[in-house]
Structure 1
Amino acid sequence: MSADTIAARLRLVKDQNRWTVADMAKMIGISRRTLESYMRRENAPLSGVEALKQIALGLRVSLDWLVLGDVDAALGGVLLVRLAAERAALPTLKNLIEMQQRNELIPQPEYMAQEIGAHAAGLAETIVSSGLTMVQIAAFIKISGEDMQKSLRKKMDEMKAQIEELEKAHPELKK
């Protein structure tokens, strides 16, 4: 169910949770009358940034969703999850590779998933509190992807060079 205004989204949260306006006002820490004015179907006053922040925190809804609605908030969430997951997986995967190289016992996948999840949650919290916008997060993901492609190309070139050296040293390997 989509709501196209802040007032409509506030009414949606109220209805979905079966709250009263008084309950919501108490959760947010504002007067019932102020909240009712924000929820009016017509001529609702524009909420200030601090009021919107207080409403989002009090009702435990995303500020992006409250202000922008479903589509933009979902995109921000997807970008945040992607960036946090990529950054969180990296140290665990590096550690896994090092453990394999040392012939150590590899932890169970469930353990590694929990480790990555915990790290991703911390990173997501840091990213959100840093104030990065969706555009900045998307740009960072693009740059990270380009860096990864460069690293992969470099690794492929190194592997090709190693194969060529092996083939020169051992012509019998060449088919």
Structure 2
Amino acid sequence: MAAFVGCFSGAASPLLSKSQNESAVKTSWCSSISVVQKAKTTSRRVSLPSLAMSASTADSTSTDAAPAESNDIYSKFWEYADSVMKERLDDLISYPIPEGFECKEEITGKGKRAQWVKTTSYAYQTNKLRQIRAAHVQGGSSLQVLNYVIFPHMNYDVPFFGADLVTLPGGH
């Protein structure tokens, strides 16, 4: 399990056990925060556009794809961030998400590689923050992502905040 980097600067996360914190492999800072975890599968590149594959195009004979929640590792991080925002931002209100994009579940891959993928989106706003958005992708052992961004209103001369917690196969 990867350690939460944004608030704890690479230190152990209080949300995870000692063994889960010890399995964090790599932390890198770019325009956002990335955390990568070891995975016991073959290394391959995964692009987010491929997650939009329709269930009707997946192999209909495959029934052994488990729901994405079975390996969900970032829900605790989102739940914590969501509770802190609701506790500290008195004027927090919902930001509109287009209908049908709040939650999507699809099967990607074919045959033995079929995998349930669930994407959940959350959005809020305040008087000073024009958009607070999170996207949580649960793809079992193949892919786990929590993308969290905060954009201030344009009249404030402050940067936006972005954090990505990402787990890919093979620890990449």
Using structure 2 for the length normalisation, give the TM-score.
0.25
Higher share in helix: 1
Higher share in strand: 2
**Which structure has the bigger radius of gyration?**
1
Higher RCO structure (Cα 8 Å, ≥6 apart)? 2
